[in-house]
Structure 1
Amino acid sequence: MFTTRPELAGDFGMVASTHWLASATGMSVLERGGNAADAAVAAGFVLQVVEPHLNGPGGEVPVLLWDPGERRVSVVCGQGVAPAAATGERLLGLGLSLVPGTGLLPTVVPGSFGAWLLLLERWGTWSLADVLAPAIHYADRGHPLLGRVSTALGTVADMFRAHWPTSAATWLPGGAVPAAGSRFTNPVLAGTWRRLVAEGEAAGGSRERRIAAARDAWYRGFVAEAIGSYCATAEVMDTSGRAHGGLLTADDLAAWQPAVEEPATFDYHGYTVCKTGPWGQGPVFLQQLALLEGFDLAAMGPGSADWVHTVIEAGKLAFADREAWYGDPDHTDVPLDGLLDPEYTAQRRRLITGTASLDLRPGSPGGRSPRLPRYPQGPDVLGAADGTAGAGEPTLAATGEVRGDTCHLDVADRHGMMISATPSGGWFQSSPTVPELGFCLSTRGQMFWVEPGLPNSLRPGARPRTTLTPSFALRDGEPWLAFGTPGGDFQDQWSLHFFLNAVHGGMNLQEAIDAPEFHTLHVPNSFYPRDTHPGHLLLEERFDPDVLAELRRRGHRVETGDAWSLGHVSAVAREDGWLRAAANPRGNQGYAVGR
């Protein structure tokens, strides 16, 4: 099978990510004696600089890690929580029925810094100064600006000038949109990182003590104070069409800390797939596997009408359950065992017929009645002239038009450690820049519902039910595959298709990534304005026309996108005594490196 690039193989180390500079940074750490945790942290900070439309220092990151010493998969939760003042009643009092997609109201505690430092402290070997050095270099000396960054800045430049002057000062040097390929710097951000390193080093003592001191400087020191002051004093335009201040305070940052959790898992044909808990959408991957276990996908064959139809229909059921049941398990009772129960799954599987469903059909695990939010009615207004440009994650329009995204990176080292991480949030197009710090805040709070009584209702101290969902798989109990993708609601579609291509299609990592991709927008969007497109099915135009015709005959509302436009999966694997890696050609910036 033709592939756009080779599947890499070696025995020293592998790094794959959504940007070549991050991958090269991670590999350079491995080459200089660092382990996978050191490499992932260094690459993660570089992603914040070179993909600022996709993530930033004020964002969040979930991480899955295989520790060869502990011989287990752990989840590092870098998802921040809603402020203490954030309640549905507060927003209803402002006349808001949805959490805005931009501005300061949807901000949550920035969790990525704490998570990266916890990963470094517990599993890494390098100092914070060493892992931050490449990111500081690119922020201070500059990096070649991606064309997509320039385009994204062009869509929000007028809004920055009129409403978000601190963002204009940071992202529009000289008042103009920087050109693709130009050298772009962020010296204020570089200064923030240098001060964090200095405060950590001033604490003295062990490597771990210095890392903890830098984390304190972020969550209980000058960073928290600057964020709290800005949110308390600034009022900025958001997608509601009005200006609002923020609810996030320094006390909210001080009260939060990253956590290490057990993964949610499912055994499938000799593979054990590990995901985050239901504070992320990760378990929908597991629910899809449970449903698909009852079908002979290998006999259908990847890319066939039967394959696409069955996978899409299973996904509709799993994602409907996400809508009705998922939320922060620290604040709501999520019946995850019931959702993965074989008897419940068998009942749900019988709903998959030869015809495309146009309905949203959550189930009743354990006999409990599902409750769905009151979804807004009306057209998709994302990016319209009403000031919503930059709203949402944002990922793709129904047509496949790229509006933004997330990042992903995977690392494997020669010692046996493997990591999958999906950094996101803090995009420059969704939140104004905190002027003293040089970065934006996460608007992940837009994923909450203002409506009370739902698993994902806005609550103080709760995690929003995020779409971020790195993946890890064991084969016969041994670590095999770390993988994932950007893409909001599509993450557990694209990454699932990659996994099924490898497991049932017999493809290597690069073949599984390069295979024609598809997804549905059938389930309501997790991001503002929560639009939905029942029966929608978008496929890359490389699919056989006969397959498209058959899917239309079965009732799918089929659209085709560009031949190489859907999905941004990357992966690293350990198999047959080798390390392997692959990255996505779509978008012309993802890269895998290793030896």
Structure 2
Amino acid sequence: MKQLVSALFISAVSIFPAAAQQTQKPVLHGKNWMAITGKPLAATAGAMTFQKGGNAVDAACAMLAATCTMWDTLSWGGETQALIYNPKTKKVIAINAMGVAPSGATVDFFKNKGYNFPPEYGPLAATTPGTPGGLLYMLANYGTLSLEQVLSPAMEMAAGYPIEAQAANSIERGKDKIKEWPYSKEVFLTHPGEKREAPEAGEIFVQKDLLATLQKMVAAEKTALKQGKNRKQAIMAAYDRVYKGDIAREFVRSSQEQGGLITMEDLAKWKPLEEEPLMVNYKGVDVYKLQQWTQGPMLLQALNILENFDLKGMGYNSTKYIHTLYQAMNLAFADRDFYYGDPASGPKGPMKGLLSKEYAKERAKLIQYDKNDVAIGPGNPYPFEGRKNPYIKLLKDRGYELDTTKRNFAPAHDMTNNMPDAAYQDRLWLGTTSVEAADKEGWVVSMTPSGGWLPACIAGKTGMGMSQRMQSFVLDSTLNPFNVVAPGKRPRVTLSPSMALKDGKPFLASAVQGGDTQDQNLLQFFLNVTEFGMNVQQATEAANFNTNQLWLSLGGTKTTDRQPKPGQILLNDNTTQMVRDELKKMGYTLSFGGRTSGPVNAVYFDWKHGGLWGGSSNHGEDYGIGW
């Protein structure tokens, strides 16, 4: 394997002086707990919950409920997933609260409507709601407080809170779409007929229907307790009301009224899953991600590839470093785009092979040290788990050569060299939020909840915005045979929290918003800490780069909306001229921005001193509180 250290080009090596970097926001310190999320009010909800005596799971659920009530990046009808470190068992567990495709959501159904992918917005974009079930499951099984205690900040907000400019302006921008849905129009357009129909920044935004739904959930808990049920049973009584009771009936009625497919049976059959996370060891650190119904294993694959190179010796954001990471991410994304999908529905994916160190070494050999490889395609991981690849013909029909002694080439429909326009970048970065919580007992939670973002279609009088995650399915098996839409199946999503253990103890927990950029930014954040010695706040703010050489997972209903853009790279504005010139010579097409680091939120565990360090991005409204 040709090592990049023997590259023929000259690179600007910039070994990172970690202690010298000044951050725009201070690092957070806490002895007892840490609460970080994408909204200041929601971080306060987490702090309030800790002050009530709750653990990190309680606080994470309170922050989740609060962010869902604030609408900008998600709402109550969306989806949730989490990695949780349980100090009692000393294990990381994964919570899968992703909704599924409803009855009638078939390839033929969408193709007959003229779609290349399921739609971005409206009732036909909706999977079954996962967030309420995920929250209730986590709280019942791993929290300590009552549902009423955990939901009290969200209920107070639903009764009226000063809406932030970001959400208020999103409503105004999306008001034409919002007017297509009667229940959304009633909630969001507080000044109908005026020039600005959305709320003003700071206006007290009231959600009577959502408040009633949350009160019904708490009432179910109280009734169950009066009947002699224990805490867990009482919380799950609220679950039954959401998925089988009057809340479910109104959700289904209004979804179908507005043209959706979700049925009562869909809601009753769905349930959150507790899963084993996937893990690889990178230089003594165990890194955990959710299973391949998310893009999370892509980060693990990239780490396995990068373990074959001296990244620290290259220097932080040197040409060699950027090129190596770009190529490694492209290799992992090519596998993600073809092999990842819901493991509970459809064919069994080759995850053992994809995550093997031997497969990573073979993939690393494909990296060309002097230029960008525009022809990177999916590999053949099946021999690395003792199986025969059943998709050889499909891959060859698509135009890929799997023989690693030959150069892969990308088929024509994968290739485009247009510079990313604003719509493409919006789809690449399409945001959600992140939730990080940790406590002195050792509980740690990392989440990237999403779905039901603005402009959202509200499900009747539930006050809940419906998910838009159906768009992450494909309708063409030549793109990905594992992620073809089918009733009862979960889409392969971008949502991807991270957790890392060192010496058997929590080391880092992190998550980030941003669609397909999530694991790109989390990978670089992790390397900022482990390879370049940055503290957790420095690592969240440090300049990253993004590759566009991948299939987009969100946005656009035409194939051309989502095609890879080989060689396109987003760099930070402060990238040196020398690095820019060298990358251009290697075949890269450069674009620049000031926002290239996430936003990442994270917790670092300082076992030497017995404290917690929090990092909260300097982009957007992300905010953390420690004590």
TM-score (norm 1): 0.91
Question: Which residue is 1:499 aligned to?
Answer: 526
Q: Residue 471 of structure 2 is aligned with which of 424, 446, 451?
A: 446
User: How does 1:186-205 map onto structure 2 within 5 Å?
Assistant: 186-204=207-225, 205=229
In structure 2, stretches of 5+ residues that fail to align are 1-20, 384-388, 399-410, 557-561
Deviation at 1:97, TM superposition (A): 2.9
For these two proteins, the number of residue pairs brought into alignment is 567
Corresponding residue SS for 1:539: strand
String of CA shifts for 1:543-587, please: whole Å, max 9, x gaps: 2222222212211111001x2454110001212222111100111
Q: 1:180 aligns with which of 198, 201, 216?
A: 201
Q: Do the aligned residues in 2 keep the contact of 1:399 with 1:559 (CA within 8 Å)?
A: no
Contact map agreement 1:57 1:440 (CA 8 A) in 2: yes
Single out whichever of 292-301 and 98-107 deviates more from structure 2: 98-107
C-alpha distance in structure 2 between counterparts of 1:314 and 1:382, whole Å: 21
In our comparison, the structure showing a higher alpha carbon Rg is: 2
Shift in Å at residue 179 of structure 1? 1.9
Q: 2:136 aligns with which of 98, 117, 130?
A: 117
SS in 2 for 1:273: strand
Q: How many Å apart are 1:324 and its aligned residue?
A: 0.8
- After superposition, where does 1:92-103 map in structure 2 within 5 Å? 92-103=111-122
Question: What is aligned with 2:177?
Answer: 159
Q: Is residue 2:537 matched to residue 1:510?
A: yes
Tell me the distance in 2 between the aligned counterparts of 1:356 and 1:302.
Answer: 19
> Counterparts of 2:149 and 2:215 in 1: how far apart (Å)?
11
Give yes or no for contact 1:400–1:565 (8 Å, CA) kept in 2: no
Deviations along 1:397-455, one digit per CA (max 9) or x if unpaired, are 445799751010111101111110111001131x4112211121111111111225711
- Could you tell me which residue of structure 1 aligns to residue 365 of structure 2? 350
The answer for the alignment partner of 2:590 in structure 1 is 558
Correspondence list, 1:56-455, <5 A: 56-143=75-162, 145-161=163-179, 163-175=180-192, 176-204=197-225, 205-234=229-258, 245-331=259-345, 332-353=347-368, 354-367=370-383, 368=389, 369=391, 371=394, 397-398=423-424, 404-429=430-455, 431-452=456-477, 454-455=481-482
Q: In the superposition, relative to structure 1, how do residues 153 and 65 fare at CA in structure 2: closer, same or farther (>3 Å)?
A: same
- 1:485·1:495 contact (CA, 8 Å) conserved in 2? yes
Deviation sequence 1:380-403 (CA, Å, 0-9, x none): 9999xxxxxxxxxxxx74457997
1:572 aligns with 603
Provide the rounded CA distance (Å) in 2 between the counterparts of 1:400 and 1:251: 35
**Residues 167 and 428, structure 1, Cα contact 8 Å, conserved in 2:** no
| Cα distance per residue 1:142-183 (max 9 Å; x no partner) | 13x22222232222112323x223211111102112222322
Aligned in 2, Cα 1:256/1:170: closer, same or farther, shift over 3 Å?
same
Q: Is the 8 A contact 1:114 1:258 kept in 2?
A: yes
Q: Is the 8 A contact 1:227 1:249 kept in 2?
A: no
Q: 1:286 aligns to what SS in structure 2?
A: helix
1:298 touches 1:504 (CA, 8 Å); kept in 2? yes
CA separation of 1:200/1:70 partners in 2, compared to 1, >3 Å: closer, same or farther? same
Distance 2:325 2:182 in 1: 46
**What is residue 624 of structure 2 aligned with on the other side?**
592
Superposition misfits of 4+ residues, deviation over 6 angstroms: 372-383, 400-403
Deviations 1:491-525 (A, max 9, x none): 00011110000000110001111111211121011
Distance 1:380 1:216 in 2: 50
> 2 CA distance for matches of 1:539 and 1:148?
25
| 2:574 aligned to which of 523, 542, 548 | 542
Query: Kindly, what percent of the aligned residue pairs are identical?
Result: 35
Partners of 1:256 and 1:505 lie apart in 2 by 44
Normalising by structure 2, report the TM-score.
0.87
Partner of 1:523: 550
Tell me, in whole angstroms, the C-alpha distance in 1 between the residues paired with 2:442 and 2:241: 33
Counterpart of 1:203, as a letter, is A
Q: State how far apart, in whole Å, the 2-side matches of 1:304 and 1:80 are.
A: 41
Give me the whole-angstrom Cα distance separating, in 1, the residues matched to 2:580 and 2:564.
Answer: 22
